[in-house]
Structure 1
Amino acid sequence: MRIAVPNKGRLHDPTLKLLERAGLHLDNGADRKLYAGTVDPDVTVLFARAADIPEYVWDGAAAVGITGYDQVRESGHDLVDLVDLEFGRCRLVLAAPEDGDITSPADVSGRTVATEFPTIAREYFAEQGIDAEVVEVTGATELTPHVDMADAIIDITSTGTTLAVNRLAVVDEVLSSSARLFAHPDHVDDEAVERLVMALRSVLSAEGKRYLMMNAPRSELDAVRDVIPGLGGPTVMDVAGGESVAVHAVVDERAVYEVVNELKKVGASDILVTEIERLVE
Protein backbone atom coordinates (compact mmCIF):
# COMPACT_ATOMS: atom_id res chain seq x y z
CA MET A 1 0.00 0.00 0.00
CA ARG A 2 1.25 3.49 -0.85
CA ILE A 3 0.35 6.50 1.29
CA ALA A 4 0.77 9.97 -0.24
CA VAL A 5 1.69 12.67 2.31
CA PRO A 6 2.68 16.36 2.06
CA ASN A 7 6.36 16.84 1.24
CA LYS A 8 6.53 20.22 3.00
CA GLY A 9 4.38 22.94 4.52
CA ARG A 10 2.32 23.09 7.67
CA LEU A 11 0.88 19.57 7.25
CA HIS A 12 4.22 17.82 6.71
CA ASP A 13 5.59 17.49 10.25
CA PRO A 14 2.25 16.70 11.97
CA THR A 15 1.57 14.01 9.36
CA LEU A 16 4.91 12.28 9.87
CA LYS A 17 4.54 12.52 13.64
CA LEU A 18 1.09 10.92 13.42
CA LEU A 19 2.37 8.04 11.27
CA GLU A 20 5.23 7.47 13.70
CA ARG A 21 2.86 7.38 16.67
CA ALA A 22 0.65 4.94 14.78
CA GLY A 23 3.64 2.60 14.48
CA LEU A 24 4.55 3.29 10.84
CA HIS A 25 8.15 4.33 11.41
CA LEU A 26 9.86 5.60 8.28
CA ASP A 27 13.15 4.10 7.11
CA ASN A 28 16.01 6.62 7.22
CA GLY A 29 13.79 9.66 7.70
CA ALA A 30 12.10 11.74 5.02
CA ASP A 31 14.52 14.55 4.11
CA ARG A 32 14.82 15.24 0.37
CA LYS A 33 13.11 11.97 -0.52
CA LEU A 34 10.35 11.25 -2.99
CA TYR A 35 9.35 8.10 -1.12
CA ALA A 36 10.31 6.09 1.94
CA GLY A 37 9.77 2.60 3.21
CA THR A 38 8.31 1.85 6.62
CA VAL A 39 8.68 -0.87 9.23
CA ASP A 40 5.87 -2.61 7.38
CA PRO A 41 7.42 -3.92 4.13
CA ASP A 42 4.03 -3.66 2.43
CA VAL A 43 3.60 0.08 3.18
CA THR A 44 5.43 2.86 1.34
CA VAL A 45 5.11 6.61 1.91
CA LEU A 46 5.16 8.95 -1.10
CA PHE A 47 5.98 12.65 -0.67
CA ALA A 48 4.10 15.11 -2.86
CA ARG A 49 2.72 18.64 -2.86
CA ALA A 50 -0.39 18.82 -0.70
CA ALA A 51 -2.38 20.10 -3.69
CA ASP A 52 -1.25 17.17 -5.85
CA ILE A 53 -2.11 14.40 -3.38
CA PRO A 54 -5.78 14.08 -4.47
CA GLU A 55 -4.55 13.45 -8.03
CA TYR A 56 -2.07 10.81 -6.83
CA VAL A 57 -4.86 8.97 -5.03
CA TRP A 58 -7.41 9.36 -7.82
CA ASP A 59 -4.97 8.09 -10.46
CA GLY A 60 -4.01 5.08 -8.34
CA ALA A 61 -0.42 6.10 -7.63
CA ALA A 62 -1.38 5.84 -3.95
CA ALA A 63 -4.19 3.93 -2.27
CA VAL A 64 -4.67 6.68 0.32
CA GLY A 65 -3.46 10.19 0.96
CA ILE A 66 -3.24 12.68 3.79
CA THR A 67 -3.96 16.29 2.86
CA GLY A 68 -6.36 19.12 3.59
CA TYR A 69 -10.07 18.78 2.91
CA ASP A 70 -9.81 22.03 0.97
CA GLN A 71 -7.32 20.44 -1.44
CA VAL A 72 -9.61 17.51 -2.15
CA ARG A 73 -12.60 19.77 -2.72
CA GLU A 74 -10.55 21.94 -5.06
CA SER A 75 -9.40 18.87 -7.03
CA GLY A 76 -12.97 17.91 -7.83
CA HIS A 77 -12.22 14.21 -7.29
CA ASP A 78 -14.78 12.11 -5.44
CA LEU A 79 -12.44 10.60 -2.85
CA VAL A 80 -13.68 8.91 0.32
CA ASP A 81 -13.07 10.90 3.52
CA LEU A 82 -11.99 8.20 6.02
CA VAL A 83 -10.64 10.01 9.09
CA ASP A 84 -10.50 13.61 10.29
CA LEU A 85 -6.95 13.78 11.68
CA GLU A 86 -7.74 16.85 13.80
CA PHE A 87 -4.81 19.05 12.82
CA GLY A 88 -4.22 21.67 10.14
CA ARG A 89 -7.56 23.29 10.90
CA CYS A 90 -8.32 26.41 8.89
CA ARG A 91 -11.13 28.22 7.10
CA LEU A 92 -11.58 29.26 3.52
CA VAL A 93 -13.27 32.66 3.72
CA LEU A 94 -14.66 35.38 1.53
CA ALA A 95 -12.97 38.64 2.55
CA ALA A 96 -13.00 42.23 1.33
CA PRO A 97 -11.40 45.57 2.26
CA GLU A 98 -12.56 46.48 5.74
CA ASP A 99 -13.38 50.05 4.72
CA GLY A 100 -15.23 49.04 1.53
CA ASP A 101 -18.86 48.46 0.64
CA ILE A 102 -18.77 44.65 0.51
CA THR A 103 -20.34 43.44 3.73
CA SER A 104 -22.31 40.39 2.54
CA PRO A 105 -21.81 37.72 -0.13
CA ALA A 106 -24.51 39.31 -2.29
CA ASP A 107 -22.39 42.47 -2.53
CA VAL A 108 -19.82 40.71 -4.75
CA SER A 109 -22.38 40.07 -7.50
CA GLY A 110 -21.03 41.53 -10.72
CA ARG A 111 -17.59 42.00 -9.18
CA THR A 112 -14.23 40.23 -9.31
CA VAL A 113 -12.98 37.77 -6.68
CA ALA A 114 -9.36 36.56 -6.63
CA THR A 115 -8.48 33.15 -5.19
CA GLU A 116 -6.14 30.17 -5.31
CA PHE A 117 -9.25 27.95 -5.08
CA PRO A 118 -11.29 28.70 -8.23
CA THR A 119 -13.24 25.42 -8.17
CA ILE A 120 -14.42 25.91 -4.61
CA ALA A 121 -15.13 29.60 -5.27
CA ARG A 122 -17.29 28.92 -8.31
CA GLU A 123 -19.21 26.19 -6.46
CA TYR A 124 -19.77 28.57 -3.55
CA PHE A 125 -21.08 31.37 -5.72
CA ALA A 126 -23.28 28.98 -7.70
CA GLU A 127 -24.84 27.70 -4.48
CA GLN A 128 -25.40 31.29 -3.32
CA GLY A 129 -26.86 32.32 -6.69
CA ILE A 130 -24.21 35.04 -7.02
CA ASP A 131 -22.81 36.12 -10.38
CA ALA A 132 -19.18 36.96 -9.61
CA GLU A 133 -16.10 36.75 -11.80
CA VAL A 134 -13.50 34.40 -10.30
CA VAL A 135 -9.86 35.17 -11.09
CA GLU A 136 -7.26 32.54 -10.24
CA VAL A 137 -4.00 33.69 -8.64
CA THR A 138 -1.09 31.62 -7.32
CA GLY A 139 -0.03 33.72 -4.35
CA ALA A 140 -0.26 37.05 -2.52
CA THR A 141 -4.05 36.84 -2.74
CA GLU A 142 -4.47 39.44 0.01
CA LEU A 143 -2.74 42.02 -2.15
CA THR A 144 -5.17 41.87 -5.07
CA PRO A 145 -7.93 44.17 -3.69
CA HIS A 146 -5.33 46.86 -2.99
CA VAL A 147 -3.90 46.90 -6.53
CA ASP A 148 -7.27 46.89 -8.32
CA MET A 149 -6.98 43.26 -9.44
CA ALA A 150 -10.06 42.18 -7.50
CA ASP A 151 -12.84 43.54 -5.34
CA ALA A 152 -12.68 40.67 -2.85
CA ILE A 153 -10.82 37.42 -2.22
CA ILE A 154 -11.47 33.86 -1.15
CA ASP A 155 -8.49 32.61 0.80
CA ILE A 156 -7.33 30.33 3.62
CA THR A 157 -7.07 31.71 7.15
CA SER A 158 -6.20 30.08 10.45
CA THR A 159 -6.14 32.97 12.91
CA GLY A 160 -7.25 35.90 10.76
CA THR A 161 -4.02 37.79 11.49
CA THR A 162 -2.86 38.00 7.87
CA LEU A 163 -6.24 39.32 6.77
CA ALA A 164 -6.22 41.94 9.51
CA VAL A 165 -2.68 43.04 8.65
CA ASN A 166 -3.81 43.57 5.06
CA ARG A 167 -6.93 45.48 6.19
CA LEU A 168 -9.33 42.78 5.01
CA ALA A 169 -12.49 41.73 6.84
CA VAL A 170 -14.18 38.34 6.70
CA VAL A 171 -17.51 38.53 4.91
CA ASP A 172 -18.47 34.85 4.99
CA GLU A 173 -17.04 31.40 5.69
CA VAL A 174 -16.84 29.36 2.51
CA LEU A 175 -15.37 26.11 3.83
CA SER A 176 -13.98 24.60 7.02
CA SER A 177 -10.96 22.39 6.49
CA SER A 178 -8.56 20.08 8.33
CA ALA A 179 -6.11 17.35 7.45
CA ARG A 180 -7.92 14.12 6.53
CA LEU A 181 -7.10 10.60 5.41
CA PHE A 182 -8.65 10.09 1.98
CA ALA A 183 -8.92 6.94 -0.10
CA HIS A 184 -9.79 6.03 -3.65
CA PRO A 185 -13.27 4.41 -3.66
CA ASP A 186 -11.73 1.18 -5.00
CA HIS A 187 -9.40 0.86 -1.98
CA VAL A 188 -11.70 1.71 0.92
CA ASP A 189 -12.28 -1.94 1.85
CA ASP A 190 -8.66 -3.05 1.42
CA GLU A 191 -7.36 -4.80 4.52
CA ALA A 192 -4.23 -2.62 4.57
CA VAL A 193 -6.35 0.54 4.45
CA GLU A 194 -8.57 -0.71 7.27
CA ARG A 195 -5.48 -1.43 9.40
CA LEU A 196 -4.19 2.08 8.76
CA VAL A 197 -7.54 3.62 9.70
CA MET A 198 -7.59 1.64 12.96
CA ALA A 199 -4.00 2.68 13.78
CA LEU A 200 -4.64 6.37 13.15
CA ARG A 201 -7.90 6.35 15.09
CA SER A 202 -6.15 4.69 18.03
CA VAL A 203 -3.69 7.58 18.17
CA LEU A 204 -6.49 10.15 17.99
CA SER A 205 -8.46 8.31 20.68
CA ALA A 206 -5.45 8.54 23.00
CA GLU A 207 -5.24 12.33 22.67
CA GLY A 208 -6.18 14.02 25.92
CA LYS A 209 -6.26 10.73 27.85
CA ARG A 210 -4.03 9.47 30.69
CA TYR A 211 -3.56 6.00 32.16
CA LEU A 212 -3.83 5.75 35.95
CA MET A 213 -2.45 2.86 38.02
CA MET A 214 -2.72 2.64 41.80
CA ASN A 215 -3.15 0.46 44.82
CA ALA A 216 -6.29 0.85 46.91
CA PRO A 217 -7.86 -0.83 49.95
CA ARG A 218 -10.34 -3.51 48.88
CA SER A 219 -12.83 -2.03 51.34
CA GLU A 220 -12.75 1.30 49.45
CA LEU A 221 -13.13 -0.15 45.97
CA ASP A 222 -16.64 1.22 45.48
CA ALA A 223 -15.44 4.71 46.41
CA VAL A 224 -12.54 4.38 43.97
CA ARG A 225 -14.94 3.32 41.22
CA ASP A 226 -17.02 6.43 41.89
CA VAL A 227 -13.95 8.61 41.37
CA ILE A 228 -12.67 6.92 38.19
CA PRO A 229 -15.39 5.20 36.17
CA GLY A 230 -12.95 4.89 33.25
CA LEU A 231 -13.86 3.40 29.89
CA GLY A 232 -16.53 0.91 30.94
CA GLY A 233 -15.22 0.84 34.51
CA PRO A 234 -11.70 0.50 35.95
CA THR A 235 -9.71 -2.73 35.76
CA VAL A 236 -9.23 -4.29 39.21
CA MET A 237 -6.63 -6.95 40.04
CA ASP A 238 -5.78 -8.69 43.30
CA VAL A 239 -2.48 -7.87 44.97
CA ALA A 240 -0.84 -10.98 46.42
CA GLY A 241 -0.65 -11.23 50.19
CA GLY A 242 -2.71 -8.25 51.21
CA GLU A 243 -6.02 -6.48 51.46
CA SER A 244 -5.21 -4.12 48.61
CA VAL A 245 -6.14 -4.27 44.95
CA ALA A 246 -4.42 -2.81 41.90
CA VAL A 247 -6.68 -0.49 39.93
CA HIS A 248 -6.05 0.68 36.37
CA ALA A 249 -8.17 3.20 34.48
CA VAL A 250 -8.16 5.67 31.59
CA VAL A 251 -9.22 9.22 32.42
CA ASP A 252 -9.36 12.57 30.66
CA GLU A 253 -6.16 14.56 31.04
CA ARG A 254 -8.12 17.60 32.22
CA ALA A 255 -9.53 15.56 35.12
CA VAL A 256 -6.23 14.09 36.37
CA TYR A 257 -5.50 16.78 38.97
CA GLU A 258 -8.89 16.45 40.65
CA VAL A 259 -9.06 12.66 40.28
CA VAL A 260 -5.68 12.10 41.96
CA ASN A 261 -6.68 14.28 44.92
CA GLU A 262 -9.99 12.44 45.30
CA LEU A 263 -8.26 9.06 45.08
CA LYS A 264 -5.90 10.02 47.90
CA LYS A 265 -8.90 10.90 50.04
CA VAL A 266 -10.35 7.39 49.68
CA GLY A 267 -7.06 5.70 50.50
CA ALA A 268 -5.42 5.06 47.14
CA SER A 269 -1.62 4.97 47.12
CA ASP A 270 1.30 4.49 44.72
CA ILE A 271 -0.65 6.40 42.05
CA LEU A 272 1.09 6.42 38.69
CA VAL A 273 -0.05 8.62 35.78
CA THR A 274 1.31 7.90 32.31
CA GLU A 275 0.69 9.09 28.77
CA ILE A 276 -1.07 6.86 26.25
CA GLU A 277 0.38 6.50 22.76
CA ARG A 278 -2.52 4.56 21.26
CA LEU A 279 -5.97 3.53 22.45
CA VAL A 280 -7.78 0.87 20.44
CA GLU A 281 -11.43 0.98 21.48
Structure 2
Amino acid sequence: MSKLKIAVQKSGRLHDDSMALLKDIGISIDNGKDQLKASAKNFPVEVFYLRNGDIPQYLKDGVVDVAIIGENVLIEKGNDILIAEKLGFSTCRVCIAVPKAMTYNSMNDLEGKRIATSYPNTVNQYLKEKGINANLHIINGSVEIAPNIGLADAICDIVSSGSTLFKNNLKEVETILKSEAVLAVSPLLSIEKQAILDKIQFRIQSVLKGRQSKYILLNAPNNKLQDIINVLPGMKSPTVLPLAEAGWSSVHSVINKNQFWDVIDELKNKGAQGILVCPIEKMVL
Protein backbone atom coordinates (compact mmCIF):
# COMPACT_ATOMS: atom_id res chain seq x y z
CA MET A 1 0.00 0.00 0.00
CA SER A 2 1.26 3.49 -0.87
CA LYS A 3 2.19 5.82 1.97
CA LEU A 4 0.87 9.35 2.22
CA LYS A 5 3.80 11.79 2.36
CA ILE A 6 3.20 14.60 4.83
CA ALA A 7 5.52 17.60 5.02
CA VAL A 8 5.95 19.52 8.27
CA GLN A 9 8.27 22.35 9.21
CA LYS A 10 11.61 20.94 10.36
CA SER A 11 11.76 22.98 13.61
CA GLY A 12 10.07 25.69 15.62
CA ARG A 13 6.60 26.23 17.02
CA LEU A 14 4.79 25.04 13.89
CA HIS A 15 6.81 21.81 13.94
CA ASP A 16 5.93 21.15 17.58
CA ASP A 17 2.23 21.89 17.06
CA SER A 18 2.13 19.71 13.92
CA MET A 19 3.72 16.73 15.63
CA ALA A 20 1.35 17.13 18.60
CA LEU A 21 -1.61 17.02 16.20
CA LEU A 22 -0.33 13.86 14.48
CA LYS A 23 0.06 12.25 17.90
CA ASP A 24 -3.47 13.29 18.89
CA ILE A 25 -4.94 11.64 15.77
CA GLY A 26 -3.21 8.37 16.65
CA ILE A 27 -0.26 8.49 14.25
CA SER A 28 2.90 7.35 16.00
CA ILE A 29 6.08 8.79 14.47
CA ASP A 30 9.57 7.58 15.35
CA ASN A 31 11.74 10.54 14.44
CA GLY A 32 15.31 10.56 15.62
CA LYS A 33 17.46 13.66 15.81
CA ASP A 34 18.31 15.26 12.45
CA GLN A 35 16.21 12.81 10.42
CA LEU A 36 14.81 14.25 7.20
CA LYS A 37 11.92 11.78 7.10
CA ALA A 38 10.28 9.19 9.31
CA SER A 39 7.58 6.56 8.87
CA ALA A 40 4.57 5.99 11.09
CA LYS A 41 4.44 2.66 12.92
CA ASN A 42 0.70 2.26 12.73
CA PHE A 43 -0.52 4.15 9.66
CA PRO A 44 0.51 4.41 5.96
CA VAL A 45 2.22 7.77 6.43
CA GLU A 46 5.72 9.19 5.94
CA VAL A 47 6.61 12.54 7.49
CA PHE A 48 9.14 14.81 5.76
CA TYR A 49 10.85 17.54 7.79
CA LEU A 50 11.38 20.50 5.46
CA ARG A 51 12.02 24.24 5.42
CA ASN A 52 8.68 26.00 5.52
CA GLY A 53 9.45 28.13 2.47
CA ASP A 54 10.29 25.08 0.34
CA ILE A 55 7.07 23.18 1.06
CA PRO A 56 4.78 24.91 -1.51
CA GLN A 57 7.05 23.87 -4.39
CA TYR A 58 7.25 20.29 -3.10
CA LEU A 59 3.45 20.22 -3.05
CA LYS A 60 3.21 21.58 -6.59
CA ASP A 61 5.71 19.00 -7.85
CA GLY A 62 4.03 16.12 -6.01
CA VAL A 63 7.19 15.33 -4.01
CA VAL A 64 4.93 15.44 -0.92
CA ASP A 65 1.19 14.78 -0.93
CA VAL A 66 0.02 17.04 1.87
CA ALA A 67 1.59 19.50 4.28
CA ILE A 68 0.92 21.19 7.57
CA ILE A 69 2.06 24.72 6.75
CA GLY A 70 1.44 28.33 7.65
CA GLU A 71 -1.31 29.86 5.54
CA ASN A 72 0.86 32.96 5.08
CA VAL A 73 3.52 30.87 3.28
CA LEU A 74 0.91 29.44 0.91
CA ILE A 75 -0.40 32.92 0.12
CA GLU A 76 3.14 34.05 -0.66
CA LYS A 77 4.38 31.04 -2.60
CA GLY A 78 1.49 28.73 -3.41
CA ASN A 79 -1.88 30.47 -3.46
CA ASP A 80 -3.08 28.01 -6.12
CA ILE A 81 -2.67 25.08 -3.71
CA LEU A 82 -5.84 23.66 -2.14
CA ILE A 83 -6.37 24.11 1.60
CA ALA A 84 -8.21 21.06 2.92
CA GLU A 85 -8.50 22.16 6.54
CA LYS A 86 -7.70 25.15 8.73
CA LEU A 87 -6.11 23.83 11.90
CA GLY A 88 -6.49 26.65 14.41
CA PHE A 89 -2.96 26.67 15.83
CA SER A 90 0.33 28.52 15.17
CA THR A 91 -1.63 31.70 14.58
CA CYS A 92 0.15 34.85 13.46
CA ARG A 93 -0.40 37.89 11.30
CA VAL A 94 1.56 39.51 8.47
CA CYS A 95 2.03 43.15 9.42
CA ILE A 96 3.72 46.31 8.26
CA ALA A 97 5.74 47.98 11.01
CA VAL A 98 7.63 51.26 11.17
CA PRO A 99 10.06 52.82 13.68
CA LYS A 100 8.29 54.09 16.80
CA ALA A 101 9.62 57.59 16.16
CA MET A 102 7.98 57.76 12.73
CA THR A 103 4.68 59.63 12.49
CA TYR A 104 2.19 57.33 10.78
CA ASN A 105 -1.35 58.31 9.86
CA SER A 106 -2.23 56.12 6.89
CA MET A 107 -0.85 53.96 4.08
CA ASN A 108 -0.05 57.19 2.22
CA ASP A 109 2.89 57.64 4.60
CA LEU A 110 4.53 54.62 2.91
CA GLU A 111 4.51 56.25 -0.53
CA GLY A 112 8.03 56.09 -1.97
CA LYS A 113 9.40 54.42 1.17
CA ARG A 114 11.69 51.37 1.33
CA ILE A 115 10.05 48.28 2.87
CA ALA A 116 12.12 45.25 3.89
CA THR A 117 10.29 41.93 3.76
CA SER A 118 10.45 38.18 3.19
CA TYR A 119 6.97 38.32 1.63
CA PRO A 120 7.35 40.37 -1.58
CA ASN A 121 4.36 38.89 -3.41
CA THR A 122 2.03 39.46 -0.46
CA VAL A 123 3.27 43.02 0.10
CA ASN A 124 3.20 43.94 -3.58
CA GLN A 125 -0.41 42.77 -3.87
CA TYR A 126 -1.43 44.74 -0.78
CA LEU A 127 0.33 47.91 -1.94
CA LYS A 128 -1.28 47.56 -5.37
CA GLU A 129 -4.75 47.28 -3.81
CA LYS A 130 -4.07 50.43 -1.75
CA GLY A 131 -2.58 52.37 -4.69
CA ILE A 132 0.77 52.87 -2.96
CA ASN A 133 4.16 52.86 -4.70
CA ALA A 134 7.01 51.68 -2.49
CA ASN A 135 10.38 50.02 -3.00
CA LEU A 136 10.76 46.50 -1.63
CA HIS A 137 14.02 45.18 -0.24
CA ILE A 138 13.80 41.38 -0.06
CA ILE A 139 15.46 39.87 3.01
CA ASN A 140 15.56 36.24 4.09
CA GLY A 141 16.22 36.34 7.79
CA SER A 142 15.99 39.00 10.47
CA VAL A 143 13.84 41.61 8.77
CA GLU A 144 13.27 43.62 11.98
CA ILE A 145 16.82 44.98 12.01
CA ALA A 146 16.53 46.65 8.59
CA PRO A 147 15.29 50.10 9.76
CA ASN A 148 17.89 50.25 12.53
CA ILE A 149 20.78 49.85 10.08
CA GLY A 150 19.33 52.24 7.50
CA LEU A 151 18.39 49.53 5.01
CA ALA A 152 14.66 50.31 5.00
CA ASP A 153 12.07 52.77 6.29
CA ALA A 154 9.58 50.05 7.23
CA ILE A 155 9.25 46.28 7.33
CA CYS A 156 6.62 43.66 6.61
CA ASP A 157 6.91 40.37 8.48
CA ILE A 158 4.99 37.79 10.48
CA VAL A 159 4.08 38.80 14.03
CA SER A 160 2.92 36.54 16.86
CA SER A 161 3.24 38.34 20.18
CA GLY A 162 4.87 41.54 18.92
CA SER A 163 7.81 41.21 21.32
CA THR A 164 10.41 41.12 18.52
CA LEU A 165 9.05 44.36 17.08
CA PHE A 166 9.15 45.95 20.54
CA LYS A 167 12.77 44.92 21.05
CA ASN A 168 13.70 46.50 17.72
CA ASN A 169 11.88 49.76 18.48
CA LEU A 170 9.17 49.15 15.88
CA LYS A 171 5.38 49.53 15.96
CA GLU A 172 2.68 47.76 13.95
CA VAL A 173 0.72 50.04 11.64
CA GLU A 174 -1.04 47.74 9.16
CA THR A 175 -2.22 44.12 9.27
CA ILE A 176 -2.11 42.62 5.77
CA LEU A 177 -3.51 39.22 6.69
CA LYS A 178 -4.10 36.82 9.56
CA SER A 179 -2.69 33.32 9.32
CA GLU A 180 -2.86 29.93 10.99
CA ALA A 181 -1.60 26.43 10.27
CA VAL A 182 -3.47 24.69 7.46
CA LEU A 183 -3.57 21.26 5.88
CA ALA A 184 -2.56 21.82 2.23
CA VAL A 185 -2.91 19.24 -0.56
CA SER A 186 -0.81 18.61 -3.65
CA PRO A 187 -2.70 19.00 -6.96
CA LEU A 188 -1.10 15.68 -8.00
CA LEU A 189 -2.61 13.64 -5.15
CA SER A 190 -3.70 10.19 -6.34
CA ILE A 191 -7.11 8.62 -5.68
CA GLU A 192 -5.46 5.94 -3.54
CA LYS A 193 -3.75 8.52 -1.36
CA GLN A 194 -6.91 10.64 -1.20
CA ALA A 195 -8.53 7.75 0.65
CA ILE A 196 -5.75 7.87 3.26
CA LEU A 197 -6.09 11.64 3.52
CA ASP A 198 -9.85 11.32 4.07
CA LYS A 199 -9.21 9.13 7.12
CA ILE A 200 -6.64 11.59 8.48
CA GLN A 201 -8.94 14.55 7.89
CA PHE A 202 -11.79 12.83 9.72
CA ARG A 203 -9.52 12.29 12.72
CA ILE A 204 -8.25 15.88 12.59
CA GLN A 205 -11.79 17.24 12.56
CA SER A 206 -12.63 15.12 15.61
CA VAL A 207 -9.60 16.45 17.50
CA LEU A 208 -10.21 20.08 16.51
CA LYS A 209 -13.87 19.86 17.50
CA GLY A 210 -12.81 18.47 20.86
CA ARG A 211 -10.31 21.31 21.37
CA GLN A 212 -13.03 23.87 20.67
CA SER A 213 -15.52 22.35 23.11
CA LYS A 214 -16.04 21.64 26.81
CA TYR A 215 -18.15 18.91 28.42
CA ILE A 216 -20.45 20.29 31.09
CA LEU A 217 -22.37 18.47 33.85
CA LEU A 218 -24.68 20.20 36.30
CA ASN A 219 -27.53 19.65 38.72
CA ALA A 220 -30.84 21.35 37.94
CA PRO A 221 -34.06 21.68 39.96
CA ASN A 222 -36.84 20.15 37.87
CA ASN A 223 -38.99 23.27 38.10
CA LYS A 224 -36.22 25.22 36.30
CA LEU A 225 -35.06 22.38 34.04
CA GLN A 226 -36.44 23.72 30.76
CA ASP A 227 -34.98 27.20 31.34
CA ILE A 228 -31.56 25.64 31.95
CA ILE A 229 -31.81 23.35 28.92
CA ASN A 230 -32.63 26.37 26.75
CA VAL A 231 -29.24 27.88 27.65
CA LEU A 232 -27.31 24.82 26.49
CA PRO A 233 -26.75 24.40 22.75
CA GLY A 234 -25.38 20.83 22.95
CA MET A 235 -24.70 18.65 19.92
CA LYS A 236 -28.36 17.69 19.40
CA SER A 237 -29.90 18.13 22.80
CA PRO A 238 -28.63 17.80 26.38
CA THR A 239 -28.77 14.50 28.24
CA VAL A 240 -31.05 14.64 31.29
CA LEU A 241 -30.92 12.01 34.04
CA PRO A 242 -32.85 11.90 37.33
CA LEU A 243 -30.88 12.35 40.54
CA ALA A 244 -31.41 10.21 43.65
CA GLU A 245 -32.83 13.29 45.37
CA ALA A 246 -36.38 13.90 44.26
CA GLY A 247 -37.05 17.05 42.26
CA TRP A 248 -33.56 17.26 40.78
CA SER A 249 -31.94 16.17 37.50
CA SER A 250 -28.41 15.87 36.18
CA VAL A 251 -27.85 17.65 32.85
CA HIS A 252 -24.96 16.78 30.52
CA SER A 253 -24.05 18.81 27.44
CA VAL A 254 -21.27 20.31 25.31
CA ILE A 255 -20.48 24.02 25.05
CA ASN A 256 -18.10 26.04 22.89
CA LYS A 257 -15.04 27.02 24.93
CA ASN A 258 -15.22 30.60 23.59
CA GLN A 259 -18.71 31.00 25.09
CA PHE A 260 -17.77 29.24 28.32
CA TRP A 261 -18.03 31.99 30.95
CA ASP A 262 -21.13 33.62 29.45
CA VAL A 263 -22.91 30.25 29.48
CA ILE A 264 -21.79 29.47 33.04
CA ASP A 265 -23.06 32.85 34.32
CA GLU A 266 -26.42 32.33 32.66
CA LEU A 267 -26.74 28.77 33.99
CA LYS A 268 -26.11 29.96 37.54
CA ASN A 269 -28.70 32.70 37.13
CA LYS A 270 -31.22 30.07 35.97
CA GLY A 271 -30.66 27.96 39.10
CA ALA A 272 -28.01 25.39 38.02
CA GLN A 273 -25.81 24.00 40.81
CA GLY A 274 -22.75 21.76 41.09
CA ILE A 275 -21.48 22.76 37.63
CA LEU A 276 -18.58 20.59 36.46
CA VAL A 277 -16.64 21.40 33.26
CA CYS A 278 -14.24 18.92 31.62
CA PRO A 279 -11.95 19.06 28.58
CA ILE A 280 -12.83 16.90 25.56
CA GLU A 281 -10.04 14.93 23.93
CA LYS A 282 -11.91 14.11 20.71
CA MET A 283 -15.44 14.57 19.46
CA VAL A 284 -16.75 12.35 16.68
CA LEU A 285 -19.89 13.66 15.02
Moved more, 221-230 or 105-114: 221-230
Match of 1:249 in 2: 253
- Which of 38, 61, 64 is equivalent to 2:63? 61
1:33 and 2:35 correspond: yes
Q: How does 1:85-124 map to 2 (within 5 A)?
A: 85-124=87-126
Match of 2:16 in 1: 13
- Give the AA of the match of 2:280: I
Compute the displacement of 1:229 (Å).
5.2
Compared with structure 1, are the counterparts of its residues 149 and 257 closer, same or farther at alpha carbon in structure 2 (3 Å cutoff)?
same
Compared with structure 1, are the counterparts of its residues 233 and 142 closer, same or farther at alpha carbon in structure 2 (3 Å cutoff)?
same
How many angstroms apart in 1 are the aligned matches of 2:195 and 2:234?
31
- Give the AA of the match of 1:136: I
Match of 1:204 in 2: 208
String of CA shifts for 1:113-170, please: whole Å, max 9, x gaps.
Answer: 1111122222222222222111111222122112221111111111222222222222
Q: How does 1:259-270 map to 2 (within 5 A)?
A: none
How many angstroms apart in 1 are the aligned matches of 2:63 and 2:187?
14
- Give the AA of the match of 2:127: F
Compute the displacement of 1:187 (Å).
3.1
Give structure 1 stretches of 5+ with no counterpart: none
How many angstroms apart in 1 are the aligned matches of 2:37 and 2:95?
34
How many angstroms apart in 1 are the aligned matches of 2:190 and 2:224?
49
- Which of 255, 273, 281 is equivalent to 1:277? 281
Moved more, 256-265 or 99-108: 256-265
SS in 2 for 1:11: helix
TM-score (norm 2): 0.80
How many angstroms apart in 2 are the aligned matches of 1:140 and 1:204?
33
Aligned length: 275
- Give the AA of the match of 2:210: A
Compared with structure 1, are the counterparts of its residues 144 and 215 closer, same or farther at alpha carbon in structure 2 (3 Å cutoff)?
closer
Question: Identity over aligned residues, as a percent?
Answer: 33
* 1:53 and 1:66 in contact (8 A); partners too: no
SS in 1 for 2:48: strand
- Which of 148, 151, 157 is equivalent to 1:149? 151
SS in 2 for 1:86: coil
- Give the AA of the match of 2:114: T
- Which of 6, 22, 26 is equivalent to 1:23? 26
Match of 2:182 in 1: 180
How many angstroms apart in 2 are the aligned matches of 1:24 and 1:262?
44
* 2:60 and 2:188 in contact (8 A); partners too: no
- Which of 173, 186, 193 is equivalent to 1:171? 173
String of CA shifts for 1:160-201, please: whole Å, max 9, x gaps.
Answer: 222222222222112211111111234397222222222111
Q: How does 1:188-199 map to 2 (within 5 A)?
A: 190-199=194-203
TM-score (norm 1): 0.81
String of CA shifts for 1:48-93, please: whole Å, max 9, x gaps.
Answer: 1122221221111111101111111221451111211111111111
Match of 1:70 in 2: 72
**Superposition RMSD on alpha carbons, in Å?**
3.3
Compared with structure 1, are the counterparts of its residues 165 and 263 closer, same or farther at alpha carbon in structure 2 (3 Å cutoff)?
same
Match of 2:5 in 1: 2
SS in 2 for 1:187: coil
Match of 1:130 in 2: 132
Compute the displacement of 1:234 (Å).
2.7
Compute the displacement of 1:35 (Å).
1.4
